[in-house]
Amino acid sequence: MKIVIPVDNNSMETNVCISFGRAPYFLIYDTKTEENSFMDNSAASSQGGAGIKAAQSIVDSRAEAILTPRCGDNAAEVIKAAGIKLYKTVNDSIQDNIKAFKEGKLNLLDDIHPGLHQHGGK
């Protein structure tokens, strides 16, 4: 299963990024083969709607789950429409979160926040 984590750098020594839409990279990790690759997040420098664009790229990468500390409501709408599951990370370590995910210990992310730039939000 292909999972995605927003990260600060493009190496396995990096940490989970606190932002989803504006994370500099996404780690794409295959839980079966344990292969990893990194995707540049071209949405990070967007003027607006970064979450939407980042979510679109992840959907296009055919990931089945996203592990993230937080997610805005616009991005969540894209992710949900694509049928991808959102899980809440437990700390900033990639290894800990991958391990917890494999053991089925991660909870679904349910506290979706309104947009940070007066875009989303109702």
Partner 1 sequence: MKIAVLSGKGGTGKTLVSVNLAAAAPASVYIDCDVEEPNGHLFFKPQDLKNQRVVVKIPQADQKLCNGCRTCVDFCKFNALAYIKDKLIVFNEVCHSCGGCLLFCPEKAISEKEKEIGIIQSGISGNVRVVTGILNTGEASGVPIIKRLLQDIRQESEAVFIDCPPGSACIVMESIKDADYCILVAEPTIFGVHNLDMVYELVRLFHKPHGVLLNKCLEEENPAEEFCRKNQIKILGKIPFDLELGTMNSNGQIAVRHHPKYKELFRNLLDLVIKETRHETASNT
If one counts every other C-beta atom within 10 angstroms of the C-beta of residue 97, the result is 25
Beta bridge partners of 108: 87
Q: How far is the CB of 64 from partner 1 (least distance, A)?
A: 14
The pair of structure tokens assigned to 70 is: 């937080």
Among 77, 93, 96, 112, binds partner 1 (CB under 8 A): 77
112 sits near partner 1 (criterion: CB under 8 A): no
**Restricting to residues 38-57, which ones interact with partner 1 according to CB under 8 A?**
43, 46-50, 52-53, 55-56
Q: Which residues bind partner 1 (CB under 8 A)?
A: 43, 46-50, 52-53, 55-56, 59, 74, 77-78, 81-83, 115, 118-122
